[in-house]
Amino acid sequence: MRKVFAFIFARGGSKGVKKKNIRVLGEKPLICWSIDLANRMEFVDSTYVSTDDSEISEVSTRNGAMLIKRPDYLASDSAPEWLAWQHAVNYLIEEGSATPNDIFISLPATSPLRTYDDINGAYQKYVEVDSDIVVTGVLSHRNPYFNMLKKGDSGYGLVIPSDVSRRQDAPECYDITTVCYVTSFKHIQSAKGVLDGKVELHSVSQRSALDIDTEQDFRLAEFLLQEMV
């Protein structure tokens, strides 16, 4: 039977928001929103945090996650996270805790407002639909067929040239979110990136899609959490 592993990948050197992953949001450190939700999911067998940082490690283990030591060469802000994914799955396979057929769920710490239903929906889509990976997305406010421009040799024009004159006539486009990614260990081992292979999308709300990258994002998350009280 396939096991399901949840992962949170968290570097220590956050630049936009200092010590972002362990900064308190609401009543707990930011990373704990992801750990706690992963531990609530009945189908998740184990929750791991991959990090290079001792403070993140301490907070994570205290709140019920297991650790994977992230190598320094994968801890810089220029290192592709996909390589950290590959390191984590290879580590667990090599130590005998996982097999290539097991399921991988990434829950980035920067999306604390995701819900149980967001993760469950993405997971169920992965299980039921033929795909290599399920990403989450939110309907985009901008559309390359209608109101997004790029600079060309003769000036600015639509990103995708079209005869669309009304937004509602343009093909639906989605912003990828950091709410959740669901795939298999073997796909991560063989693929070159998130959008390699057959991709399916699970739609989430604008609220769930909030991705904390700046102080403004953090303050917005605090406001939205207070609204729930």
Q: What's the sign of the alpha-carbon dihedral 71, 84, 216, 16?
A: positive
d(CA 203, CA 32): 24
Q: What total of structural domains would you count in the chain? A: 1
**Residue 105, in any domain of the structure:** yes
**Local confidence pLDDT in tens for the 229 residues of the chain:** 899 999 999 998 777 788 999 999 999 999 999 999 999 999 999 999 999 999 999 999 999 999 999 999 998 888 899 999 999 999 999 999 999 999 999 999 999 999 999 999 999 999 999 999 999 999 998 877 777 789 988 899 888 888 887 777 788 889 999 999 999 999 999 999 999 999 999 999 999 999 999 999 999 999 999 886 5
Residue 53 lies in a domain: yes
Assign 188 to helix, strand or coil. Answer: helix
Q: Is residue 48 part of a domain?
A: yes
Domain that holds residue 8: 4-135+176-195+205-228
The pTM of the full predicted model, rounded to 2 decimals, is 0.92
**The CATH number of the domain where 187 resides is what?**
3.90.550.10
Q: Which residues, at least 6 apart from 227, have a Cβ–Cβ distance to it below 8 Å?
A: none
* Total Cβ atoms within 10 A of residue 205: 16
Name 99's Cβ contacts closer than 8 Å, sequence gap at least 6: 2, 3, 93, 185
